[in-house]
Structure 1
Amino acid sequence: MAEALAGSPELAGRYMAFRDAAHEALGPEIVAEVRRAVAGVHGMGEGARGSAPAAVISYARRMVFEHTAITDEEAAAVTAELGEPGLVALSVVAALADAECRAEAVGLPDLAS
């Protein structure tokens, strides 16, 4: 993504800081699981391996095509696992992973991570 934003170093820096903050809030293991889960929904890779809490992986998978159907109960289950800041970070990480998968699928590798 940073390469795609190379024409705007300020925007690239802000994007990277935003992404990195969300990744730091979840930690590298959960981020990797979420990214694998989202890629799996897109048919890109093996999907999640099961080390992250089930509620987290379920939420991440639903963010791809069913984000408006996520229930309060599902969000509460994630909040119970990660806290409210974690729920927000998970939403960001899943959304960015989804966008990067979609960019890769349509041949825009500079927009993929």
Structure 2
Amino acid sequence: MSGPVAEALAANPDLRTGFEEFRKAAHEALGEELTAQVRHAVAGVHGIDLPPPVGTAPPATLAYARRIPFEHTAITDEEAAAVVAELGEERFVAFSVVAALADAECRVEKVGLVGLSA
């Protein structure tokens, strides 16, 4: 992990280790390919260019991911159910964590918040 979040967490090794383990577990639960696609979709909403990911994610999943940064309160139960149907309940939870972390990491990058742990 690198970037502003990593720099901010460097001041607190225990917090950094816990965060990295949590993030890694979510990424592993969702799978490398889908994680890259979700991160790419969320970054695109923020206007951040990431290398294009490999593979194709289920359409409802990426549409849902794109809504998380600025429209999360408008996501319907039906939209969530469609993603659960595509991914299953456990991967839906991992997807939610990955998308939320991607959103937070993009926001940190956009404002250059290197003093996160201060």
| TM-score, reference length from structure 2 | 0.84
User: Which letter does structure 1 place at the counterpart of 2:23?
Assistant: R
Q: Return closer, same or farther for 1:80/1:48 CA change in 2, 3 Å cut-off.
A: farther
Q: How far is the alpha carbon of 1:9 from its aligned partner? A: 1.2
- Quick one: percent identity of the two aligned structures? 66
| Structure 2 residue 39 is matched with structure 1 residue 35 | yes
User: What RMSD, in angstroms, separates the aligned Cα atoms of the two structures?
Assistant: 2.1
Runs (5+) with no aligned partner, structure 2: none
Runs (5+) with no aligned partner, structure 1: none
| Structure 2 residue 57 is matched with structure 1 residue 57 | no
Q: Larger RCO: Structure 1 or Structure 2 (Cα < 8 Å, ≥ 6 residues apart)? A: 2
Counterparts of 2:60 and 2:35, CA distance in 1? 14
- Which SS does the other structure have where 1:66 is aligned? helix
Match of 1:83 among 79, 88, 107: 88
User: Which letter does structure 2 place at the counterpart of 1:6?
Assistant: A
CA contact (8 A) 1:59 1:70 kept: yes
Of 47-56 and 24-33, more deviation after overlay is shown by: 47-56
CA contact (8 A) 1:37 1:47 kept: no
| Count of paired positions | 111
| Matching residue of 1:107 | 112
CA contact (8 A) 2:7 2:114 kept: no
